[in-house]
Chain A
Amino acid sequence: MSFFFQQLLNALQVGTMYALVSIGYTMVYGVLTMINFAHGDIFMVSSYFAFFFSIFFLRMTSHFPSFLVFPTIVLVTVILTSFLAIIIERLAYKPLGSASKFSAIITALSVGILLENLVLALIGPEPHQIPPLIPDVVYNLQGVAFSSFQVLILAVSFLCMYILDFIVYRTKVGMAMRAISFDKTVVPLMGVPVDRIIEVTFALGAAIAAVGGIIFGSVYSLDPYMGIRIGWWAFIAAVLGGIGNVRGAMIGGLILGGVEIFVVAYTTSAYRDFVAFAILLLLLVFRPTGILGKSQIKKV
C-alpha cells in the first residue's frame, strides 16, 4: 500500500507541474483561439533562467540571506519569462494581424523550434541541474518518503494556481480575458484594451509556466529539448480539461500526471508517450471539448 501512496505523491508532484504549464496553453487559446505551440519552449527557457540565477545567487550567499534565495529566484525568473513571452507576442504573433489561423500555428511552431535551437547553439546540449535551493530533509510517514523540497514545491504550485484562479475569475483583467474569449468583436467597443489584455494573458501564462520550470529544473535535469515533451503533455492536459478553461487545465494536468506515473509504475516506461497520445487522439475524436469545456455550434 505504501508503494501506491508513494506513487500517488509522485503523481501529484508531476501533475501539478503539468497543470502549471497547461494553464498557459489554455489561457492563450481562450483569448486568441490560437494554440501557442511555443509555450513548452518558453517553459524550457524559464528553466534555464532559473538555473543561471540559482548559480548566481548561491555564489553570493555571503552577501545574501539564504532563506531569501528561493523566493528571489522565483520572482526574477517569473518576471524575465513574462518579458520573454511579451517580446515573442509583439515580434512574432501580433504582426500576423488577421492572417489565417494556419499562419499562427506555423509561426508558433517556428518560434518553438527557434528557441530550442537558440538555446542549443548558445548553451549546448549538456544536461544541467539546478542546485538544491533549500536544505533537503527527508521525512518518512509509514513507508511514504517525502522531502521538504517536495512539500515546498507543492505548496508553491497550489498557491500559484490559487492566485491565477483569483486573477482570472475575480479581477477586472480576468473579466476582460473571459469577455474576449466570449465575444471578440463586441468587447473592444466596450472600452476593453484588447491588445493590452492579450499581452497580459501571454505574460501570465508564461509566468505560471516559469514556476513549473523552476520545479522541473530542480527535480529533473534540463536540456534544450525538454520543452517538447513537457509542452505536449501539458497541452494534452489542457485539451483533456477543456481548452480555454483554466480550472479544467488544472484538473487535466493532475489526471495526466496520475496517468504518467501509474503507467510507468505498473507497466514499462516505453509506453508512456504512446498512452498519452492515444488518450489525446481518442479524446479529440469522441469528446473534443474536454471535461469542463462547452460545446460550440458552428454557424455558416
Chain B
Amino acid sequence: MTTKNIIQLSELDGKLKNKQWALAFALVILFTLTFLIPHYGLLNEYIQLTIIYIGINIIMALSQNMINGYMGDFSLGHASFMLIGAYVSSILTVWVFPNNWNPILTSIILFPVSVTAGGLAAALLSLIIAFPSFKTRGGYLALVTLAFNMICVSVVQNIEAIGGGRGFMGMEKLTTMPWVFIWVLIAVWVVRNFVYSNFGRGVVSIREDETAANLVSVNTKQVKVLTFVISSFLAGTGGALFAHVLLFITPKTFQLQKNVDFLVMVYLGGMGSIGGSILGAVTYTVILELLREALSILGTMPIFAGIPSLEVWRWVVAPLLLILLMIYRHEGIMGFREFGFIVPYRDRFGACFWLKKGRAN
C-alpha cells in the first residue's frame, strides 16, 4: 500500500466519523423536539397524533420487513403479534399495575415495563409460527401465519374476561411523542445491528437460497427462530404503543386489513431496507391522512352530501395503490438500497475503501 492510499484512508475515516457526530446531534435535537412540541403545542393535536401513528407504523414496517424483506419469507401474522402486544400491555397497565401512582412515575417506570412485556409475550407466541417455517415457505407460510392471525382473533373474541368481541378499554394515554421516538430508535437500532451482524448475513443468505445457505453452514433453524422472535417482539411493542394511544382495542382492529397496511409500507418503501421501511411508513401514513382530509372536504360539498360512505373510498384507493405499485415498481422506493447513515461504520468504511482502491488501480 502506498503512502498516498494511507492518507486517503485517514481522510475518509475522518469524514465518516464527522457524519456520525452529525447523526448523533440530529437525534438529540429531534428528541428535544418531541418534548417541546407537545409542551408548547407547536403543532396541533391532529398532526401530533399523526406523528405518533407514523412512529408506530415505522416500528411495524421494520418488523414486517425483517421477515418479508430480509428473510424472504411471507408473514401475514404481524397484526396478531400486534394484537398480543396490545392486549398484554393494556391488561398490565389497567389491572395489574397500581393505578394510584404518580403519573410521571407511571409513565417512566410502569409504561416501558408493560410495553416490554407486550413485546415479550408476542415473541413467545411467535414460536408457534417460527417452527412451521422450517418446513414450509412462500405462499404456504403466508397461509400458516394467516391462519395464526385468524385463530388469535377468534380466541380473543371468545374470551369474555377481556371483553371478547366488544373490546378492551380503560387504558390511560401513556404513549407520548418522546416514548414513541425512543421505541422507534430502539427498533431501528436493533434491526440495523441484527441485519449487519453475522446472523443478519445468515438471514439474507436464507432469502437468496435456503439450501445453499445450509450448505455453507448457516444454522438456518436458529437464524429463523431468532428473526421471528426479534421481529415479533418489535411488533408486540408496536401493538402496546398503539393500544395506549387509541385507548380502545378490539380483536377486529388487528385483522388482515391491518396487516395489509404494513405490507404496503414495506413494499412501498422497499424490501430489505431499513431506510425504505421508514420512508414507506411515513409516505403511506401521510398519503392516507391526506386522502382522509380530501375525502372529508369532498363530503362537505353539496354534490356528495347524499353519499355517506366517502370514508370507504379510502379503502378503495389504498389497495389500488398497492396493485399499481406491484405492476410498475415492485421493488419500492429504496429496493434493497440503504441510507448511508444507517449502515454501520465498518461496513461503509470497507465499502468506500474497496471502491477507492478499485479506482486507483
- The interface of chain A, by Cβ under 8 A from chain B, is 33-35, 92, 95-96, 99-103, 105-107, 109-111, 113-114, 117-118, 120-121, 124, 228, 232, 235, 239, 270-271, 273-274, 277-278, 280-281, 284-285, 288, 298, 300
Contact = CB atoms under 8 A, between A and B. Distances in A.
Contact of B319 (A35, A99, A117, A235): A117
B313 interface: yes
Contact of A277 (B139, B147, B319): B147
Nearest to A116: B315
A80 B185 CA distance: 52
- The secondary-structure label for the interface of chain A is helix
A92 B327 contact: yes
Contact of B330 (A99, A117, A118): A99
A101 B138 contact: yes
A277 B316 CA distance: 28
B292 to A, nearest CB: 14
Interface stretch (B39-47, B150-158, B340-348): B150-158
A95 B327 CA distance: 6
A280 B68 contact: no
Interface of B: 68, 74, 131-132, 135-136, 138-140, 142-144, 147-148, 150-151, 154-155, 157-158, 209, 211-212, 256-257, 260, 263, 267, 309, 312-313, 315-316, 318-320, 322-323, 326-327, 330
A288 B140 contact: yes
A108 to B, nearest CB: 10
B158 A106 contact: no
Nearest to B150: A277
Contacts of A298: 211
A105 B212 CA distance: 25
B316 A274 contact: no
Contacts of A120: 309, 312, 315
A117 B143 contact: no
Contacts of A35: 139, 142-143
Contact of A109 (B132, B140, B260): B260
A284 B136 contact: yes
A273 B267 contact: no
A96 B267 CA distance: 15
Contacts of A300: 209, 211-212
Nearest to A272: B154
A274 B330 contact: no
Given A106-B326, A277-B147, A284-B143, A113 B319 contact: yes
B148 A107 contact: no
B85 to A, nearest CB: 21
A285 B132 contact: yes
Given A113-B257, A117-B315, A281 B327 contact: no
**B interface SS class:** helix
A109 B212 CA distance: 31
| Shortest beta-carbon contacts, A-B, top 10 | A110-B319, A117-B315, A114-B319, A121-B312, A277-B147, A110-B322, A113-B319, A95-B327, A274-B154, A277-B150
A284 B319 contact: no
Contacts of A285: 131-132, 135-136, 144
A8 B144 CA distance: 30
28 contacts: A34-B139, A35-B139, A35-B142, A35-B143, A96-B330, A99-B330, A102-B68, A102-B74, A105-B139, A106-B263, A110-B319, A110-B320, A114-B323, A117-B319, A121-B312, A124-B309, A232-B150, A271-B158, A273-B150, A274-B151, A274-B158, A277-B147, A284-B136, A284-B140, A284-B143, A285-B132, A288-B135, A288-B136
Nearest to B158: A270
A157 B316 CA distance: 33
B144 A281 contact: yes
Contacts of A110: 260, 319-320, 322-323, 326
Contact of A281 (B151, B157, B212, B326): B151
Contacts of B131: 285
A114 B327 CA distance: 16
Given A111-B319, A285-B131, A288-B135, 15 more contacts: A102-B68, A109-B256, A109-B263, A109-B319, A110-B320, A113-B260, A114-B323, A120-B312, A271-B154, A273-B154, A278-B151, A281-B147, A284-B136, A288-B140, A300-B209
B315 A113 contact: yes
A296 to B, nearest CB: 12
Contact of B155 (A95, A117, A118, A274): A274
B272 to A, nearest CB: 12
- Most chain A CB within a 10 A radius of its CB, from B74, B135, B315, B327: B327
A285 B136 CA distance: 8
Given A113-B260, A280-B147, A107 B323 contact: yes
Nearest to A279: B147
Contacts of B327: 92, 95-96, 107
Given A113-B319, A271-B158, A281-B151, A107 B135 contact: no
Contact of B316 (A33, A118, A124): A118
A117 B150 contact: no
Nearest to B135: A285
A13 to B, nearest CB: 24
Nearest to A118: B316
